A and B are shown apart, each in its own frame.
Chain A
């Protein structure tokens, strides 16, 4: 699942691999901006609890995530994830 957008100033995406995500919630607790949440998704006829970006932050993640320096792909959420399910794509122009 990709969350984020590209606008005139560049591309900003948080990508969550819902196959790898175990729903442990470590990233939710570590996120300094409280931008992540656990959500139930319907995958392969099962309800699976996975992490997602909150509705509130989806349309402004460029600003929300900026303090963590997502362009390094080494943020609170990515480094705490044991299954490497979170990825940041940051390409400001």
Chain B
């Protein structure tokens, strides 16, 4: 795992780790169908390289103010150390919020289709409901056994419950974002949830609770609970069908995941061990995009 030194700044509690990974024991030759998926989200950019439809490498960075630059940066990160050049990529699909601004993409596809496909790739054909918790929106997607989208719903008006909202809270609480989930679970009893319609309101409410003498753990529990309720409502609206999985940055937030399971009364499929050898659920959209890239390349070859 590589780690740029600049992200080590201890004052930025919202900072999550940017990294890249190459799947061990995989080789490529020029005969293989090598495709890429570039998912430029509102907060994070993800790129995945696939060889014959199998994950080969990926990278995750923060999206900058310039989408084309973020796209090039994250694709470069995914290619790093693989020996592959951008010209080796047979087909590149752009997706996510900034998908129209992916300069190297042969095609742009909505992230809804890509996340369903990617979740199907990571967890297998039993996935029916995908909750994608992104930087600035939440999407509930129902899919069939092939990863085809059956039904879809995006969250309502604002950033509450999204990754960015959680970053705001990490900063407020002075707790590193990667620990926030575990810390929110350190309460003896679940406090009542805070207002869940707006980050700004929730933040104000949280400050009020801190002043009242609530511990950080308790306030985080109340916030995380509120967000989980919100996500659960979205899932219920689109219709919950097993198996349920969570993709996007918040899939790594154990506080959110475990509370969604409690609120909905179902277990999510277990998270792949992305810290070591597993696929990273945050890259699901990019995996899906790279898979579509392969299918589109093969289709183009046939015709």
Residues of A bordering B, CB below 8 Å = 1-2, 5-8, 11, 13, 41-45, 59
Q: CB-nearest residue of chain A relative to B295?
A: A45
Q: How far is the CB of A86 from chain B (nearest CB, A)?
A: 15
Q: CB-nearest residue of chain B relative to A11?
A: B237
Task: Report if A6-B233 is in contact (Cβ < 8 Å); known contacts: A1-B152, A42-B109, A59-B157.
Answer: yes
Q: CB-nearest residue of chain A relative to B237?
A: A6
Compute how far the CA of A38 lies from the CA of B151 in the bound complex, rounded to whole angstroms: 18
| A42 touching B152, Cβ below 8 Å | no
What is the number of contacts between chain A and chain B, taking CB atoms within 8 Å?
Answer: 37
Q: CB-nearest residue of chain A relative to B299?
A: A45
| A6 touching B156, Cβ below 8 Å | yes
Q: Which A residues are CB-close (under 8 A) to B109?
A: 42
Q: How far is the CB of B294 from chain A (nearest CB, A)?
A: 11
| A2 touching B197, Cβ below 8 Å | no
| A41 touching B110, Cβ below 8 Å | yes
Q: Which B residues are CB-close (under 8 A) to A5?
A: 155-157
Q: Which of A2, A7, A11 contacts B151 (CB 8 A)?
A: A2
B208-223: CB near A (< 8 Å → 1, else 0) gives 0000000000000000
Q: Which B residues are CB-close (under 8 A) to A2?
A: 151-154, 237-238
Q: CB-nearest residue of chain A relative to B155?
A: A5
